Amino acid sequence: MLINTVILFLRDALPFFVLLSLLLSVLAARPKWLSLSVLAGVVGSLLLLNQIDQLSQLLGGAGMELMLFACHVIVYLASALFIYLYLQNLKVGLEVKDQLATLQGIAGVIIATSLLINGASFLIYFVSFWSQADAPQSMFLGTILGSGICLSIAVLLYFSMLWLKQVFGPISVVLALVLYASGQLADAVSLLVQVDWLGHSGALWDISSIIPDQSEFAHLFNALIGYRASPSYQQVGLYVVACILPLLVYCWLMTGGALKLMPSIRPSKTAGRTQEQK
């Protein structure tokens, strides 16, 4: 039970810790919003736990998968919006603090939804097996070890991102967030395939002999960039589109489209100074 709990943390909780590191490296502020969004995620998971059995039986047994896929789409769209607003701020010369409340709100949605994705299955595991004879001690130790490993990776990633941000600029954090959100979305395609809402397209490549999916490195890379040893054509296609789309939209808006659609965001270096003077 101890090992199971640790593995469960590595597989299901690590992506959440990675997400926290990435968002905190952008929003380097006192994370009051963090407590609220985590609380919202936990409450949502508890509500879901109550209905998960019925939900899984909906739509011919596809209810749970469709809900989880919808959550992944929400996380991706919210991340894309977060990236867009963050880049827009930098472009018009504003500091993050000028739009902090909006960015925190979006980050809150991302965190709460991400927590909901794995929170309910985590709770099912703990609620179901806690009453077993020797389970509480093993599960407690497993939780300490698992969360310790996840937290260590998260802290390391957080400081790495701060360093990368200093050396290569904010685009490094943006790219990391784009890769993370796209990877999680592409990985969720298998949810639709397993309930037959989407046909299986076959694997584009198979490198399971180099980094098998069950290895620790695979878990880490999966959390960071959505790694799969043998991804399908659909997953790779969606991944590429999901990576490129937010950056293309941003470029389009910032070059010509933005001026036509939203004249108010015309790039101006004085805008930032005016805000600061106020």
Partner 1 sequence: MLSLRSFLLLFAVLGLDAKAVEEFTIELRQHLFYPSRIHVPAHKKVKLIIHNLDERPEEFDSFDLNREKMLFPGRLTTIFIGPLKPGEYTFFGEYHPNAARGLVIANEPAQGEQHAH
Q: Which residues bind partner 1 (CB under 8 A)?
A: 4, 7-8, 52-53, 56-57, 60-61, 64-65, 121, 124-125, 128-129, 190, 193-200, 202, 212-214, 228-230
CB of 128 to partner 1, least distance (A): 5
Q: Are 152 and 81 in contact (CB under 8 A)?
A: no
> How many residues appear in the chain?
278
Distance CA 269, CA 128 (A): 58
Q: Are 48 and 55 in contact (CB under 8 A)?
A: yes
What Å distances lie between residue 163 and 26, 47, 155, 220, CA to CA? Answer: 12, 39, 12, 20
Distance CA 271, CA 83 (A): 20
Q: Which is nearer to partner 1, 50 or 128 (CB)?
A: 128
Q: Which is nearer to partner 1, 81 or 193 (CB)?
A: 193
Q: Which is nearer to partner 1, 199 or 257 (CB)?
A: 199
Nearest one of 230, 202, 9, 24 to 121, comparing CA atoms: 9
Distance CA 179, CA 162 (A): 17
**What is the per-residue burial (b if ≥16 Cβ within 10 Å, else e) of 244-254?**
eebbeebeebb
Distance CA 200, CA 114 (A): 25
Q: Which is nearer to partner 1, 160 or 230 (CB)?
A: 230
Q: Which is nearer to partner 1, 37 or 222 (CB)?
A: 222
CB of 88 to partner 1, least distance (A): 35
CB of 245 to partner 1, least distance (A): 20
Q: Which is nearer to partner 1, 56 or 99 (CB)?
A: 56
Q: Which is nearer to partner 1, 212 or 257 (CB)?
A: 212
CB of 244 to partner 1, least distance (A): 21
Alpha helices in 92-212 (DSSP H): 100-129, 135-168, 171-187, 189-194
CB of 61 to partner 1, least distance (A): 5
CB of 4 to partner 1, least distance (A): 6
Q: Which is nearer to partner 1, 147 or 230 (CB)?
A: 230
CB of 199 to partner 1, least distance (A): 2
CB of 119 to partner 1, least distance (A): 13
Three state DSSP letters for 189-252: HHHHHHCCCCCCCCECCCCCCCCCCCCHHHHHHHHHHCCCCCCEHHHHHHHHHHHHHHHHHHHH
Q: Are 96 and 27 in contact (CB under 8 A)?
A: yes
